[in-house]
Amino acid sequence: MQEPKYKRIVLKLSGEALAGEGGYGINHQVLVSIARQIKEVVALKVQVAIVVGGGNIWRGVAGSARGMDRATADYMGMLATVINALALQDALEDVGVPTRVQSAIEMRQVAEPYIRRRAIRHLEKGRVIILAAGTGNPYFSTDTTAALRAAEIEAQVILMAKKVDGVYDSDPRQNPNARKYETLDYIDVINKGLGVMDSTAASLCMDNEIPIVVFSIVENGNILKAVVDGNIGTYVGR
C-alpha cells in the first residue's frame, strides 16, 4: 500500500471542473470519475474535506456585473454550491464512501450546519465532509472558504483541482508558449496576480503556512498522485 504524504487534506473542486467539457451543469461521467478518485484516497486512511464551488451553475460576480445586487448574487452562488455538494455526496455514497454535507447556511432538511468540532469528528471517523455554501457571507469566494476551513480543521494541504495542470504565467489555452511554474511562493501568487486563488485566500494560506498544490482533475488518478508524492502540478508555499 502506498504511503500518503498528507493525512488530512482540503480538496477544492471548482464548479467548472464538475461541468466537464459542457461548461454548464453537472457532467455525470466527471462526477463518477471524481468520486472514484476520492475513494482511492480514502482507502489510504487520508481524511478528506471537500470545498466545492458553484460556477457551473451560477457565479455571483457575473450576476453583480449585470446590475444585480452583489450580496443577492453571492447568496445565489452559495446555493449553487449546495446543489453541487449534494450531487457529489450521492456519487461518493454510490461507490461506498461515507459522506456528510455541511452547509455554512442552515438548511437542515438537506445538510448539517457547519460546526468545526463536528466536522473534525466526522473526519476522524473516516467520513468525507463536503463543505457547501462558502463561508455563509457574501463577498467571499470559495477559494477563501477553502483557506479558512483548512486553517480551522488543521489540514496539511489544500489541493486545488482545476482543468489545467498547474499555474502558468499566462493562459495556456490561449498562449501555447505559456510557461508553467513548478513552485511558487505565496507572495508571488499575490504580487503577480497569477489566478491560483484570490488575494484574500492566498494571504490566509500564507499567514497560516498552508501549502497549496494546483493540479489537473481531468486525468484519472491525479488526486491520489497529489496525496501520495505531491510531485504534480504547481506547489505554492515557502
134 phi, psi to nearest 5 deg: 60, -140
The single residue listed with the C-alpha cell 503556512 is: 209
108-132 pLDDT per residue, tens: 999 999 999 999 999 999 999 999 9
Cell output for 52: 466545492
**Angle of CA points 164, 169, 175, to nearest 5°:** 70
H/E element, 180: strand 180-181
The predicted structure's pLDDT at residue 1: 61
Q: Buried (b) or exposed (e) across 92-108, using 16+ Cβ within 10 A? A: beeeebebbbbbbbeee
71-109 pLDDT per residue, tens: 999 999 999 999 999 999 999 999 999 999 999 999 999
Distance CA 39, CA 11 (A): 13
Res. 178: pLDDT tops 90: no
**Mean pLDDT for the chain?**
92
Minimum mean pLDDT range among 58-62, 165-169, 172-176, 181-185? 58-62
H/E element, 74: helix 70-94
The predicted structure's pLDDT at residue 80: 95
CATH topology of domain 8-237: Carbamate kinase (3.40.1160)
The predicted structure's pLDDT at residue 174: 83
Distance CA 77, CA 214 (A): 23
Look up residue 81 and give its amino acid. Answer: T
Give percent above pLDDT 90 in the chain.
Answer: 72
Look up residue 106 and give its amino acid. Answer: E
Distance CA 29, CA 27 (A): 6
Distance CA 236, CA 238 (A): 7
Compute the radius of gyration of the chain from its Cα atoms: 17
Distance CA 222, CA 108 (A): 34
Question: How far apart, in Å, are the Cα atoms of 43 and each of 18, 36, 111, 121, 127?
Answer: 23, 11, 25, 18, 11
Mean pLDDT for 44-53 is 96
Distance CA 43, CA 227 (A): 12
Cell output for 124: 476522524
* Band of pLDDT at residue 156, cut at 50, 70 and 90: very high
